[in-house]
A and B are shown apart, each in its own frame.
Chain A
């Protein structure tokens, strides 16, 4: 194993860890799907690296397959997210907590986000709530600015 391989492995592990942290901490459905993708690609990275270390084809072949499946799975996941959104008008995962024990308290939830403000530009489609620092330049639409300020 060359130092180069070690770096590749570290990158894969880093991707996986980051994805896992994102998956465990985020409550936004789309971000969670993205985090899961990140974890998977960390694993793919590792697989390719192992193929390189052992000088075999399996790692790469496996990764090609994984990518194909991941594409399908991403489509499926986003479709599910969309239909969940249509039901609750929110991307908050905590709205879906019926599986808890009946006497457990309900988890903290966001209020359903009102995306459709009458402009008609977004319709009934989900969108990522802005996160991080708000951009300096003026917002493109009124609604995204409103959502950004409402975000806690």
Chain B
């Protein structure tokens, strides 16, 4: 494949969705109307095909030439660079619009565009009666474009630009039904909470700039000797950079305590939830941390923090999900929890240097599989919502098994994959994470720490299986019951909604098996810059961990079956027996309230104080300056009586004065 074609393929990946966004935004409202999905579909299909070409053809073809495993320090991996034009040129800072693709990018791109394409197909069915149909597809195209550029960017500067663009698109989509006050508030909340993380990210980028003198990924990340030199020069600075970058990741990937925006983001249309939770947005944080592995390797404390925050998030989100009655909210908290799993894995490199690559691989693998089954679950939930007349409270309906057969079995596959039922996608990736954690707990230095994390992860895996199947049983099993909003006969998903569900179900079932135990994924990902390929002989399946996680998953499902099918009275009894605990979980650990008391209210207080200062001091000064001309003019104002004769008199007096002046002067 010639170089030009390679560059064209790489450009097409982000440019196609951008073109679709522009076309839909300009022509959609007047011309395309309810055909607005066509540009979006075709653009995403083009992107997806190009991503697959990149993944399967371009990068493997350049692998042999670029890999230089002899020198571990300067390992850049196979990559393709395409420069566009120089965007910023300030002093020493040269920010180019430049696409850079390597293994991790190719994997992310294929996943993002593939899932987005299916979501867009589903969306055209789901949104078919909405007045904002063109707006929806314009925003979705823009969202995918931003995410593609985020993973394709070759420098921190460009990454930050599209990091923000993703945030903007999420704002537009979460607040899609902006007439609803709750949706507008949720969009604002997502935006503001993300700003906190973005502050960290940009601080990290500034620090990288001042310490490395470059924002280029290759310059900053490929040379571990250089990173070490920076660390020697300014001890602790790498750690600071990592903490800052991780703060950015926490905001975007909804980690404790910044996870509050993600459940509220359910206010958007369900396809948007699927997009945000699976393909775009939340994966950006995980991607950032994985991308910056060479930096994190130098900062074990930052890695420990990543793991600890991940574990805390996973546990808290799982406990919250136990009692939520809103189907989409259960899924939202499961996303938060699974993201916690990914971060737990990403932090494992602190235990020993050999664990770094398997840790990142496990995290990214979970991200990859999670994208499929979480998109599936959300789309299935959307199908339920569609059939139930936008009712999503699980107490209002049950026993939908027979009414919605396709939705039922696809949801079942997704739920089983999420719960970690053996051989399905989630099983392999979760097993990888647990294995890495188990490995890390054997290290001398941080053994106890990772032991605790491992225990939390296993417990959370159990909870995951339980709450996922609680949602499944409550929705699809039991006596058949529909809310009034659904009408008499709930309708199954239309073909355009059903096919994405089927495709995703197949992916969720098989993709883990296809690329996990065969080490396809690991071998491919480990060619990324900053990771060291693990020799094949040391790759093995972790039978012990697998057995344990299977048992945990089955136990969780069994318990859910016992509680919600066999003896439905038990949960209520437990809830009333442990009222305070139940309320804490139901109230989402009161994080919203705590944050409100700790952050929002002080800010409002400061704002009130500032108002007093503004009104009392600043306005006072400005007003008194304004009073000076008024005071000065108070005497001449008396002459403006509106009487023509008096004006004429003044004119006359003026003429006389002028004449007298002229006469006396000459």
Interface residues in chain A, defined as those with a beta carbon under 8 Å from any beta carbon in chain B: 20, 23-27, 32, 93-94, 96-101, 103-104, 106-107
Q: Looking at the complex, which one of A24, A25, A32, A107 makes contact with B642 (CB distance below 8 Å)?
A: A107
Q: Looking at the complex, which one of B640, B641, B645 makes contact with A24 (CB distance below 8 Å)?
A: B645
Do A94 and B640 touch (CB < 8 A)? Answer: no
Other A-B contacts than A94-B644, A100-B641, A103-B637, 15 sampled, CB-CB below 8 A, are A26-B645, A27-B645, A32-B644, A93-B643, A93-B644, A94-B642, A96-B644, A97-B641, A101-B637, A101-B641, A104-B637, A104-B638, A104-B640, A104-B642, A107-B642
Contacts of A94 in B (CB 8 A): 642-644
Do A107 and B641 touch (CB < 8 A)? Answer: yes
Do B637 and A93 touch (CB < 8 A)? Answer: no
Report the separation of the CA atoms of residues A100 and B642 in the bound assembly, to the nearest whole angstrom: 4
The smallest C-beta distance from A117 to any residue of chain B, in angstroms, reads 29
Interface contacts (Cβ under 8 Å), in number, total: 42
Do A99 and B642 touch (CB < 8 A)? Answer: yes
Do A23 and B642 touch (CB < 8 A)? Answer: no
Max chain A C-beta neighbours (<10 A), residue from B637, B643, B648: B643
Do A23 and B648 touch (CB < 8 A)? Answer: yes
The smallest C-beta distance from B228 to any residue of chain A, in angstroms, reads 77
Do B642 and A97 touch (CB < 8 A)? Answer: yes
Report the separation of the CA atoms of residues A71 and B649 in the bound assembly, to the nearest whole angstrom: 25
B628-662 vs A, Cβ < 8 Å mask (1 yes, 0 no): 00000000011011111100110010000000000
Report the separation of the CA atoms of residues A25 and B652 in the bound assembly, to the nearest whole angstrom: 13
Report the separation of the CA atoms of residues A57 and B644 in the bound assembly, to the nearest whole angstrom: 37
Contacts of A100 in B (CB 8 A): 640-643
The smallest C-beta distance from A86 to any residue of chain B, in angstroms, reads 19
Contacts of A32 in B (CB 8 A): 644
What are 5 contact pairs spanning A and B, CB under 8 A?
Answer: A24-B648, A93-B643, A97-B642, A99-B642, A104-B640
Contacts of A103 in B (CB 8 A): 637
Closest to A100 in B: B642
Report the separation of the CA atoms of residues A26 and B643 in the bound assembly, to the nearest whole angstrom: 11
Interface size of B in residues (CB-CB distance below 8 Å): 11
The smallest C-beta distance from A60 to any residue of chain B, in angstroms, reads 24
Closest to B655 in A: A20
Closest to A29 in B: B644
9 cross-chain pairs, A with B, having the tightest CB-CB distances, nearest first: A100-B642, A97-B642, A101-B640, A107-B643, A93-B644, A101-B637, A100-B641, A24-B645, A104-B641
Report the separation of the CA atoms of residues A107 and B637 in the bound assembly, to the nearest whole angstrom: 15
Contacts of A96 in B (CB 8 A): 644
Contacts of B637 in A (CB 8 A): 101, 103-104
The smallest C-beta distance from B128 to any residue of chain A, in angstroms, reads 61
Closest to A21 in B: B652
Closest to B645 in A: A24
Do A20 and B652 touch (CB < 8 A)? Answer: yes
Report the separation of the CA atoms of residues A25 and B637 in the bound assembly, to the nearest whole angstrom: 22
Report the separation of the CA atoms of residues A106 and B643 in the bound assembly, to the nearest whole angstrom: 9
Contacts of A104 in B (CB 8 A): 637-638, 640-642
Report the separation of the CA atoms of residues A104 and B648 in the bound assembly, to the nearest whole angstrom: 18
Contacts of B642 in A (CB 8 A): 94, 97-100, 104, 106-107
The smallest C-beta distance from B67 to any residue of chain A, in angstroms, reads 85
Report the separation of the CA atoms of residues A104 and B633 in the bound assembly, to the nearest whole angstrom: 14
The smallest C-beta distance from B638 to any residue of chain A, in angstroms, reads 8
Report the separation of the CA atoms of residues A88 and B272 in the bound assembly, to the nearest whole angstrom: 69
Do B643 and A25 touch (CB < 8 A)? Answer: no
Report the separation of the CA atoms of residues A27 and B643 in the bound assembly, to the nearest whole angstrom: 9
Contacts of B644 in A (CB 8 A): 32, 93-94, 96-97
Report the separation of the CA atoms of residues A106 and B645 in the bound assembly, to the nearest whole angstrom: 14
The smallest C-beta distance from B230 to any residue of chain A, in angstroms, reads 70
Report the separation of the CA atoms of residues A94 and B648 in the bound assembly, to the nearest whole angstrom: 13
Report the separation of the CA atoms of residues A8 and B507 in the bound assembly, to the nearest whole angstrom: 116
Report the separation of the CA atoms of residues A99 and B638 in the bound assembly, to the nearest whole angstrom: 12
The smallest C-beta distance from B643 to any residue of chain A, in angstroms, reads 5
Do A97 and B643 touch (CB < 8 A)? Answer: yes
The smallest C-beta distance from A40 to any residue of chain B, in angstroms, reads 14
Give the residues from 381 to 433 in chain B that come closer than 8 angstroms, CB to CB, to chain A: none
Report the separation of the CA atoms of residues A131 and B591 in the bound assembly, to the nearest whole angstrom: 91
The verdict on A93 contacting B641 (CB below 8 Å), with A20-B652, A24-B652 known, is no
Contacts of A107 in B (CB 8 A): 641-643
The smallest C-beta distance from A30 to any residue of chain B, in angstroms, reads 14
Closest to A103 in B: B637
Contacts of A26 in B (CB 8 A): 645
Closest to B640 in A: A101
The smallest C-beta distance from B639 to any residue of chain A, in angstroms, reads 9
Report the separation of the CA atoms of residues A101 and B652 in the bound assembly, to the nearest whole angstrom: 21
Contacts of B641 in A (CB 8 A): 97, 100-101, 104, 107
B593-605 vs A, Cβ < 8 Å mask (1 yes, 0 no): 0000000000000
Contacts of A98 in B (CB 8 A): 642
Report the separation of the CA atoms of residues A25 and B645 in the bound assembly, to the nearest whole angstrom: 7
Closest to A39 in B: B652
Give the residues from 42 to 68 in chain B that come closer than 8 angstroms, CB to CB, to chain A: none
Do A93 and B640 touch (CB < 8 A)? Answer: no
Report the separation of the CA atoms of residues A93 and B643 in the bound assembly, to the nearest whole angstrom: 8
Report the separation of the CA atoms of residues A93 and B645 in the bound assembly, to the nearest whole angstrom: 9
Contacts of B643 in A (CB 8 A): 93-94, 97, 100, 107
Report the separation of the CA atoms of residues A24 and B647 in the bound assembly, to the nearest whole angstrom: 9
Contacts of A20 in B (CB 8 A): 652
Report the separation of the CA atoms of residues A100 and B643 in the bound assembly, to the nearest whole angstrom: 8
Report the separation of the CA atoms of residues A106 and B642 in the bound assembly, to the nearest whole angstrom: 8
B603-645 vs A, Cβ < 8 Å mask (1 yes, 0 no): 0000000000000000000000000000000000110111111
Contacts of A101 in B (CB 8 A): 637, 640-641
Contacts of B649 in A (CB 8 A): 24
